[in-house]
Amino acid sequence: MNHEWPLFEVFVRARRGLNHVHVGSLRAADHEMAVHHARDLYTRRNEGVSIWVVRSDDVVASSPEDKAAFFEPSGDKSYRHPTYYTIPGSVPHI
Amino acid sequence: MSDFEDTIARDQRIEPGDAMPDGYRSTMIRQIAQHAHSEIIGMQPEGEWITRAPSLRRKAILLAKVQDEAGHGLYLYSAAETLGADRGDLTRRLIEGRQKYSSIFNYPTLTFADVGVIGWLVDGAAICNQVPLCRSSYGPYGRAMIRICKEESFHQRQGFELLMTMMGGTPGQRAMVQDAVNRWWWPSLMMFGPPDDQSPNSARSMAWKIKRHSNDELRQRYVDMSVPQAEALGVTLPDDELRWNADRGHYDFGTPDWAELTRVISGDGPCNAARIERRRRADEDGAWVREAAAAHARKREKVVA
């Protein structure tokens, strides 16, 4: 019998003002236990002020094989970047 | 050139889900699993001293350290799972002797000085091995190693401080430290693996940038680091051939007993059977707790639904 607990992905906010960042995964019976385990596993030295846990099988990811086609549309739009525009150096504050 | 080869050539990281050669995946799983098992089995030699630590301060430190080892094991199992490995399956492979762990944890901890020497020498060797692994080509492994290395630094320093305290004590305590150094020095040198010309998988691991330095290179680096530390501590490293070589700019040192390493790796070390037996018992004794927690979670899910 496979009584492995489900896998959870863990995200930690290091301090107020920062995003939650993915730090790894762990096994737990449910979400509540996952939060407790995440505290013991990923914040033993004040690494965080807030934790999110998400069931790994609920995560939907873009496919690495389609990476080129998927991200290509943004590649040829250099006009989206400020450096695309030439402004005389004499113009201040721009 | 495949995406994989291109990524490696540009010194970028391979990430979960990327296409990779089967050999890379299986090598990575094996290496990460062995590393995880080493951390988990590594809780035992020092764990034996938690109840016998000489002060509350030392007990709290040792508890924190052993808890870190458990944490390191779990970071690594987490990294192995990104490659499609299953944590429960890896544990079964360890218990059934189908996957190995570091030979160093098959030696006994006879006195409290061993706790200090493990921190200084064994964790020192681990740091030497692991710092380059922070740049290993597999992303989740490298990131786990960064986290581990930060924590290992506490391990090494607490060990050295423990030994300094003992060296400032009675002649009996100083003798205890020297005895522990005598027993752990050579096994520590073996932690870097067999000599380069007898390490069959090394070349491929270097080509894939899983490893960044050869076994002998890291061993030399470790010896060079340890000699001045031993002098500062006032202990003698048990090697008659150990001396500074000005031409090489390194310390020369004797040859470890490679037959002993082979023996211990293949299961015939002083504590192999006891270590695995304890891990098996912990897994079996914990089974009902894991099942009960899972049943409780299922029941609550139903109530909510």
Q: For A37-89, what is each residue's pLDDT tens digit?
A: 999 999 999 999 999 999 999 999 988 778 778 888 877 889 999 999 999 99
* Other residues' Cβ atoms within 10 Å of the Cβ of residue A88: 6
ipTM of the modeled complex = 0.90
- Whether A39 is in a domain gets the answer yes
CATH of the domain at A37: 3.10.20.520
What range defines the domain where residue A51 resides?
A: 1-60
Give the integer Cα–Cα distance in Å for B70 and A80. Answer: 48
Closest Cα of chain A to B88: distance in Å? 7
- Whether A81 is in a domain gets the answer no
- Whether A89 is in a domain gets the answer no
In B102-257, which residue ranges form alpha helices assigned H by DSSP?
Answer: 112-117, 123-130, 139-167, 171-190, 202-207, 215-233
- Whether A66 is in a domain gets the answer no
Predicted TM-score (pTM) of this structure: 0.93
Closest by CA position to B219, among listed B243, B201, B249, B195: B195
Do the Cβ atoms of A4 and B86 come within 8 Å? Answer: yes
Helix (H, G, I), strand (E, B) or coil at B127: helix
Q: Residue B142 carries which side chain, given as an amino acid letter?
A: G
- Whether A80 is in a domain gets the answer no
Q: How many domains does chain A have?
A: 1
* Per-residue pLDDT tens digits for B117-161: 999 999 999 999 999 999 999 999 999 999 999 999 999 999 999
A12 phi/psi in degrees, rounded to 5: -125, 135
Q: What is the pLDDT of residue B202?
A: 85
A8 phi/psi in degrees, rounded to 5: -120, 140
Chain A contact present for B60, CB below 8 A: no
Mutation target among A1, A2, A5 for the B interface, most CBs of B within 10 A: A5
Place of tokens 């090394």: B202
- Whether A71 is in a domain gets the answer no
- Whether A87 is in a domain gets the answer no
* Other residues' Cβ atoms within 10 Å of the Cβ of residue A20: 14
- Whether A37 is in a domain gets the answer yes
Distances (CA, A) of B290 to A5, B76, B249, B280: 8, 20, 55, 15
